[in-house]
A and B are shown apart, each in its own frame.
Chain A
Amino acid sequence: MTITSVDRTTARPRTDDALVLDGVRAVRGGRTIWSDGSLRVPTGAIVGVIGPNGAGKTTLFQLVLGLLPAAEGRIEVLGGSPRRGDRRIGYVPQNYRSAVSDAVRARDLVTLGLAGTRFGVRRISAADRARVDEALARVGATGYAEQRMSRLSGGQQQRVAIAQAIVDDAELLLLDEPLANLDLRHQHEVVELLGALREERPVTIMVVAHDLNPLLPVLTDAVYLLDGHPHHDRIDEVVQEDLLTHLYGTPIRVVRTPQGDLFTRGG
């Protein structure tokens, strides 16, 4: 390794930021969810989006996806205004598993990530099929590609969802609670997958999580929603006892293991 540390304080050129918020206020149903959002998420970061329930983590995703307009301020996603249907963004919503029906196979769902927006009767091309196979293989889902989604375990369904999000070569991945309801082993596997994806391609990954611990090994940055405002910082600046304690409104300790791994715990 020749570059051991990057001076993160140098101002990055604008094109280097995957997401820029400038004085943004998010309003949903006439209620301000958060305000004064000014932050930059650098390209290639793996960002934990954290904050207590109802702080507006999912709302942030909706703004980035162009599903919700900013009530105030300016948003820049991958160098442009947020736009619904931006093919450069891969999205896995919250509660993905309960939303998926009996009627589709894993392969069908991934194919929809590629061809689901196309009207008309054209067949899926061999090239598209190859991309679907590749995405399924990338998440290790080849073995159950022909199974119905409802027959898969939670961890397997989450992998298929990620395959659908990356099949179109997304530059920005938005994952809303991808670890919810997964057991420790499957949590670990998904986290490992995110880290590996980041190493392979210049993708920026934003992960909403209520528990930071399983993600800490791969996170480089965090966006945290504190007192009604979103902030961005490097992950080690965020994993601080006083900040997390303030954030969640309950005492939280940060522990560093002899191996150098960070984790947080209540009390």
Chain B
Amino acid sequence: MTPSSDGLAAVEFQTNWLQVLQTDFMQHAFLGGTMVALAAGLMGWFVITRQNAFAAHALAHIGFPGATGAILVGAPVTLGLAVFCVGGGLLIGLFGSRGADREVATGTVLAAATGLGVLFASLAAANASATTSVLFGNLLAISSGQLWVFGGFTALVVLTLAVLARPLVFASVDPAVAEARGVPVRALGIAFVVLLALTITMAVQVVGTLLLFALVVTPAAAALRLTARPAAVAGLAVVFAVLSVWIGLLLSAMVDLPPSFFVVAVATLIWVASLAATRERTRTWPTPAPADQPLVPARTS
């Protein structure tokens, strides 16, 4: 890829893209990206239902100083990200669940963390490109060591979600009743934040801090537009997330540009398509509301 005269990178079709797909870094990217998409797709429904989208976004930013700090001291980026995301998540969780308080607390922690990230990044000035890959993701730089970590995280997220599924759904959609029914709402909330932090730790390395929303929230949002059946939403969200990563990587191999853009673009297109598809349906929807059935059987006396 040679810079053209006006400073734009030349975008051209790579005739050897099939070979590119067979390289180690592409194989790693596909494998790692798929695992992240699986975890992110499953978590998305809960993020939306628990109205945690902003917290998810903030957690990614909280991971930023973790990553740049790790670069600064020469520790693995994944470790730095994980420590900061989990820590930040617990911190946000401690601020309680009262809407407005939580928004302010989350936003403040987010800003403070981003500031710290900038500080670490400038202290580690020699590694500016590493900072860029934290912000925008670098799916093509996933090592086999990272793959093992991703595998462990994904297994943990999927298995834990499977075990917690029903009480977590209950606590997410109907917290007051769930608590009265004996569901450990608060403990589940903390468990959820940890799972979210692990998912974000992975996702940041795929699409970066700034684009994370597209992988953790957007696929589930699109799925939710199309259906409300819980199993179908989970399945569709995973399919959408995986498709975004796969198609994104494929396009990236074809034109030799970073995959983050394509991953996010595909996710966004799927979401827009889901909006369009359901708008069609709402137009035909106003069928008369199904008539209420009589509540009380007719008195026989």
Contact = CB atoms under 8 A, between A and B. Distances in A.
A144 interface: yes
A112 B164 contact: no
Contacts of A89: 180
A142 B293 CA distance: 8
Interface stretch (B89-97, B108-116, B166-174, B259-267): B166-174
A117 interface: yes
A143 B183 contact: no
A87 B49 CA distance: 25
B74 interface: no
B169 A99 contact: no
B257 interface: no
Interface stretch (B199-207, B222-230, B247-255): B222-230
Band of interface residues on B:
35 or more
Contacts of B170: 112, 116-117
A108 B163 contact: no
A164 B292 contact: no
Contacts of A104: 169, 173, 228, 230
Contact of B166 (A87, A99, A102, A118): A118
B297 A117 contact: no
Interface string A154-169: 0110010000100000
A108 B295 contact: no
B3 interface: no
Contacts of B175: 99
A50 to B, nearest CB: 21
B145 interface: no
A105 B229 contact: yes
A91 interface: yes
A158 to B, nearest CB: 11
Contacts of B291: 143
B283 interface: no
A96 B173 CA distance: 11
A148 interface: yes
B179 A105 contact: no
A102 B230 CA distance: 12
B175 to A, nearest CB: 8
Contacts of A140: 292-295
Interface stretch (A35-43, A189-197, A224-232, A239-247): A189-197
Interface residues of A, number: 47
Contacts of A120: 162-163
A252 B204 CA distance: 63
A56 B293 CA distance: 35
A112 B180 contact: no
A127 interface: no
A117 B175 CA distance: 12
Contacts of A103: 45, 48-49, 173, 224, 228, 233
A196 B295 contact: yes
B8 interface: no
Contacts of B293: 137, 140-143
A96 B182 CA distance: 18
B243 interface: no
A153 interface: yes
B98 interface: no
A47 interface: no
A99 B290 CA distance: 23
26 contacts: A67-B179, A84-B182, A85-B183, A91-B176, A91-B181, A93-B177, A93-B180, A100-B173, A103-B49, A103-B233, A105-B229, A108-B169, A109-B174, A112-B166, A113-B177, A116-B169, A116-B178, A117-B166, A120-B162, A140-B293, A140-B294, A141-B293, A143-B291, A144-B289, A189-B292, A196-B297
Interface of A: 65, 67, 84-87, 89, 91-93, 96, 99-105, 108-109, 112-113, 115-121, 137, 139-144, 148, 153, 155-156, 159, 164, 189, 192-193, 195-196
